[in-house]
Amino acid sequence: MNKDSYNDMLAKVQAFHDKHDFKNTGGEELTYRVALMAEELGEISSCITKGKSKEELAEETADLFILLLGTAISADFDLKQAFWDKMDKIMQRESKMIDGRIRVSEFK
């Protein structure tokens, strides 16, 4: 196993799904997964607003990343390709300062 390999990370998350039979026990239901991701975002926010350690922030962010990989498995899409397709799009976008912070969007 190569810990720098996206495919190995994806396989590890798939093994976790298989171990707990997510496919047949509701763990791959997308509405449920969105709720779990929202919960993890709340935990990330708590780390930042409550001044928790970098290690705690890293752990909560890893939880979200694992959920994102698992959502790609659940919804059967290629997250790596989606990442590169999206990066190609956003690299073409302009940025604006809005309320003192940079924002990169389509600005329609």
pLDDT digits (tens, 9 = 90+) for 1-58: 888 899 999 999 999 999 999 999 999 999 999 999 999 999 999 999 999 999 999 9
Q: How far apart are CA 66 and CA 100, in angstroms?
A: 32
**What is the predicted pLDDT for the residue at 83?**
97
Q: Is the dihedral of CA 51, 53, 57, 59 positive or negative?
A: negative
Residue 1, in any domain of the structure: no
What's the structural domain count of the chain? 2
DSSP string, 6-28: HHHHHHHHHHHHHHTTHHHHTTT
Provide mean pLDDT across the span 64-69.
Answer: 98
Provide mean pLDDT across the span 62-71.
Answer: 98
Query: In the structure, what pLDDT confidence band is assigned to residue 68 with cuts at 50, 70 and 90?
Result: very high
59 and 93 assigned to the same domain: no
**What is the predicted pLDDT for the residue at 45?**
98
pTM of the full structure: 0.90
39 and 51 assigned to the same domain: yes
52 and 34 assigned to the same domain: yes
**What is the predicted pLDDT for the residue at 3?**
86
